[in-house]
Amino acid sequence: MYNKITIIGNLGTDPEMRYMPSGDAVTGFSVATNRRYRTRDGEQRDETEWFRVNAWGRLAETTNQYLQKGRLVYVEGSLSSRSWVGQDGQTRFSNEIRAQEVKFLSGSGDTGGFGAGAAGPDGPPAGDDEDDLPW
């Protein structure tokens, strides 16, 4: 079986780096992707899809150091979807990507000067459970 997703979007939050009990770094951030389309009636609409991204190891450290809210990024990894019931009784959904590669597509101030940034094959270390993430 094969689970791979590629997205290009803007960071909706600044990255947050944490350390697992084992000492391994994990950085989480959200990315918004946008799609513009026309309805049958000719009305133009915008649709935004949000993804939660987790980067591990060296990739976690690099993304935490260089990314910030608003930056355009390319993210490649595996997708997992979760649902849960919130305190208000409503069912919530989350699309989460375990990043295997992150490329910085815009520099600070959107100058484009940063070019391709971090890339790495680091995944979560064996034995660490995603459910133990601190957020």
pLDDT tens for the chain, residues 1 to 135: 789 999 999 999 999 999 999 999 999 999 999 999 999 999 999 999 999 999 999 999 999 999 999 999 999 999 998 898 999 999 988 889 999 999 999 765 443 333 334 444 333 333 344 444 444
Helix (H) or strand (E) holding 34: strand 25-38
How far are the Cα atoms of 37, 47, 70 from residue 41, in angstroms, in the given order? 11, 17, 32
| Residue 71 φ/ψ, nearest 5 degrees | -65, 145
> Which residues, 6 or more positions from 63, have their beta carbon under 8 angstroms from its beta carbon?
15, 27, 29, 55, 99, 102, 118
